[in-house]
Chain A
């Protein structure tokens, strides 16, 4: 019975791994049919005896599960958009350019899920079940702003009716529960805000883990240069004759370069000059970065002063100075870094890595300087909020005193003031963070991405094409020519925009929806632009071994954009009159309140125990120890791997030398040979004693010799030994 069960399991495994076998299709189909028949016939037989019904039930459920999974897979692949478009781009430009569009599509999917969460759990309940527009002060446009609230220019900057709509934090009411279903909006708002980060983190790490498996072993760069060039340089995705010609040319050039590298001796480099130039280049770049950080701080401070002065007299330039300066820096600095990097004289692949690192540092520095400047403003607004709160309370108390003294009652109805006339606090979440994020995102995006493509690629292509007829030199081959698609620039832009979305999503729920729209239009626009105005790359240098480089960058940006949000949730107190947390001391008080009031008592106790420092400290300590242990373990594995590699290399060399009848090149073997006794020097042999020389001269090497002799016999045997060792380790 047991043997039968095992056989059935084996057949099932065969079916599952059928597609990975390198067989002809006919054979696979035949094997599949056999295995399926066997399983069906004997699965019924196995069910005899005890628990027959249960077994049959289990089998039926397993089959249904497989069918369901397969249908779901089919459904999922049917839902993937833009497959044709990406295939077109791939056949024209190869896999590296298409990887950008695949990344864009992945981002679109992520943002769609985030939008679904935000919309379904936060925006929809407020719209359907919350109080309508105009009923309470926070949902109404103030009286002074009402005349201009519908103006296009005001709406374009998301002021007016937009600011007081569900797109921003300030619109949401702080009632604990709303509507028939008693939906807890403030709690949901907080949890969705944090949940967005949690979900993004999970998805990014899952994708990284999947990519890491495909990464392949780390072989040294120089190990297989020619073999890899020969067998992996042709991109099978290419389907366009022009691209194919380009590819042939670039492969030929790359081979010629490698041949030259191989034949050339090391030039006598002037190490000191090179080091000095590199230090100089780094110094210049750091000073550039510092300069740009200071410039941003200065401009943000100036914009705060402008805001304090009269609005009407400012020119467009002065009003949008901050975004303008940031976009300008983003456009000018990368080419500047590239020219400075010419001093350094690195291999192109390494130079590209440095370039990407510097651009990353630039964006990061800009972003954080901007945030610090913003926080100053937030603190100023908090101060002014206190004074407005005091004055509002004073007015209310006055009213209360007047009323009760006039009518001689203590039951005072609330003042009948129209919502539009109520004095408003400065609502820093909407006004500073929400609006800034929105406007910054749109403006920077329109400027940088779309206009750059329009001018840098489209206009350039049109001029080259049509001016070529009447120009002195060949525009297409010579100076401007057609642009190449800048993969790394675009990917970095995408990553940083996503970082800004993550930062702003908590304070402007509508931002995620806007981003979905932006990614959608981006996809179509950039696909059109790349097919219409760009030419395939001449040299292809991938910055990374796998896609994990960009995923790692995305993870870093996720953490960095998480920090400000968590900081504001934990430390700053919310505005007193706008948003779902108004009236609380800190934003996370909502959670504490829910735990105390709505959940049963013992859960509250559990939380109090769990947040006890006495419990948290040991937990942290345990995690640190676990980290240390895993680190040591992985180091041990790496060392064992290196040892194995070395042994295999030695065996290979020995085998080769043996076949070619050359002397051993291994130093240890040479030494051993030298140490072998020289028979001519030995005294005439005495029968019993073994020659003293072998014992006294080779004690230290005897074990190594023994070990080595184990490896020289046969390459396959050595391989088996190595496999055996590695299995032991697993």
Chain B
């Protein structure tokens, strides 16, 4: 179908279409975006699977992520080394999970990872406090922050250990009516 492009082989494109929620055109567009973040670092020819990673600072400046208070956490959760350096595979993966077509369960898993600031697989009180401060740009008083975090844990904690495990988080987030429409980035 008019494949004059030489960036990927056809098998690679088919594999990407099987592994993500994107179509061929969108994958090529994503590569364009990835390339323009660092034209000298990112090769145009991906047929040989080059090993190229872009640092956190470059990715976080994308217009889609620039205004997001959780942009650092988002990029870190999708990077293999946890420091925010994304290869093209991880870049595509990130936007695939955040796209419209990803199912609720998959998004819940990654939302949990994003909000888990100390990366211990639990949302403890400090994680919640950090989330809240980022959301309100620290406009709330410490007592208010304490109250909100306490209430949130009370509401969602099912097994009574004063922190949210993934089961608690998932139970709470899958019922939220707004979750799918807000946890969505269009690229």
Binding site for B on A (CB under 8 A): 15, 18-22, 24-26, 28-29, 32-33, 70-71, 73-74, 77-78, 86-87, 90-91, 95, 99, 214-219, 223-228, 230-241, 243-244, 248, 251-252, 255-256, 258-259, 262, 542, 545-546, 652, 655-656, 659-660, 715
Q: A20-B105, A252-B140 are in contact. Are A95 and B182 (CB under 8 A)?
A: yes
Q: Are A24's CB and B183's CB within 8 A?
A: no
CA A241 to CA B25, docked complex, whole Å: 29
Q: Are B106's CB and A232's CB within 8 A?
A: no
Q: A22-B110, A259-B144 are in contact. Are A225 and B155 (CB under 8 A)?
A: yes
CA A217 to CA B174, docked complex, whole Å: 7
Chain B: minimal CB distance from A262 (Å): 7
B131 at the interface (CB under 8 A from A): yes
Q: A25-B90, A33-B15, A239-B63 are in contact. Are A652 and B148 (CB under 8 A)?
A: no
Contact of A236 (CB < 8 Å), options: B20, B103, B159, B183: B183
Contact of B19 (CB < 8 Å), options: A32, A73, A652: A32
Minimum CB distance partner of A656 in chain B: B160
Q: Are B184's CB and A236's CB within 8 A?
A: yes
B37 at the interface (CB under 8 A from A): no
The 4 A-B residue pairs whose C-beta atoms are closest, nearest first, are: A25-B89, A219-B175, A244-B67, A656-B160
Q: Are A216's CB and B137's CB within 8 A?
A: no
Q: A interface, by DSSP: helix, strand, loop or mixed? A: helix
Q: Are B17's CB and A232's CB within 8 A?
A: no
Contact of A231 (CB < 8 Å), options: B158, B176, B180, B181: B176
Q: Are B184's CB and A237's CB within 8 A?
A: yes
Q: Which of B133-187 contact A (CB under 8 A)?
A: 135-137, 139-140, 144, 147-148, 151-152, 155-156, 158-161, 172-186
Q: Which residues of A contact B147 (CB under 8 A)?
A: 259, 262
Chain A: minimal CB distance from B182 (Å): 5
Contact of B136 (CB < 8 Å), options: A28, A255, A258: A255
Q: Are A18's CB and B19's CB within 8 A?
A: yes
CA A666 to CA B1, docked complex, whole Å: 67
CA A262 to CA B155, docked complex, whole Å: 13
CA A15 to CA B14, docked complex, whole Å: 12
Contact of A19 (CB < 8 Å), options: B18, B161, B173, B177: B18
B64 at the interface (CB under 8 A from A): yes
Q: Which residues of A contact B53 (CB under 8 A)?
A: none
Q: How many residues of B contact A (CB 8 A)?
A: 69
Q: Are B156's CB and A224's CB within 8 A?
A: yes
Contact of B128 (CB < 8 Å), options: A22, A28, A214, A230: A230
Q: What 15 new A-B contacts, CB under 8 Å, besides A216-B175, A236-B184, A660-B160?
A: A20-B103, A24-B89, A78-B25, A91-B64, A216-B174, A227-B173, A231-B176, A232-B176, A234-B135, A234-B182, A236-B182, A236-B185, A248-B137, A256-B144, A259-B148
Q: Are A216's CB and B93's CB within 8 A?
A: no
CA A655 to CA B1, docked complex, whole Å: 60
B125 at the interface (CB under 8 A from A): no
Q: A87-B186, A237-B186, A244-B67 are in contact. Are A231 and B111 (CB under 8 A)?
A: yes
Chain B: minimal CB distance from A686 (Å): 44
Q: Are B184's CB and A715's CB within 8 A?
A: no
Minimum CB distance partner of B187 in chain A: A87
Q: A216-B176, A224-B156, A255-B148 are in contact. Are A231 and B115 (CB under 8 A)?
A: yes
Chain B: minimal CB distance from A241 (Å): 6
Q: Are B177's CB and A546's CB within 8 A?
A: yes
Chain B: minimal CB distance from A96 (Å): 8
Q: Which residues of A contact B98 (CB under 8 A)?
A: 236
B33 at the interface (CB under 8 A from A): no
CA A216 to CA B70, docked complex, whole Å: 24
CA A231 to CA B168, docked complex, whole Å: 13
Chain A: minimal CB distance from B101 (Å): 9
CA A622 to CA B170, docked complex, whole Å: 43
CA A90 to CA B140, docked complex, whole Å: 28
Q: A216-B174, A239-B66 are in contact. Are A77 and B182 (CB under 8 A)?
A: no
CA A70 to CA B183, docked complex, whole Å: 26
Q: Which residues of B contact A241 (CB under 8 A)?
A: 67
Q: Which residues of A contact B20 (CB under 8 A)?
A: 19
Contact of B184 (CB < 8 Å), options: A95, A225, A248: A95
Contact of B182 (CB < 8 Å), options: A86, A227, A235, A252: A235
CA A542 to CA B177, docked complex, whole Å: 10
Q: Which residues of A contact B63 (CB under 8 A)?
A: 91, 239
Q: Which residues of B contact A70 (CB under 8 A)?
A: 14, 17
Chain B: minimal CB distance from A223 (Å): 7
Q: Are B135's CB and A15's CB within 8 A?
A: no
Q: A18-B19, A25-B92, A715-B159 are in contact. Are A226 and B184 (CB under 8 A)?
A: no
CA A214 to CA B175, docked complex, whole Å: 10
Q: What sequence of 0s and 1s flags, for each residue 82-111 of chain B, a beta carbon within 8 Å of any chain A beta carbon?
A: 000000011011001010001111100111
Q: Are B172's CB and A224's CB within 8 A?
A: yes
CA A123 to CA B144, docked complex, whole Å: 67
B46 at the interface (CB under 8 A from A): no
Q: Are B23's CB and A232's CB within 8 A?
A: no
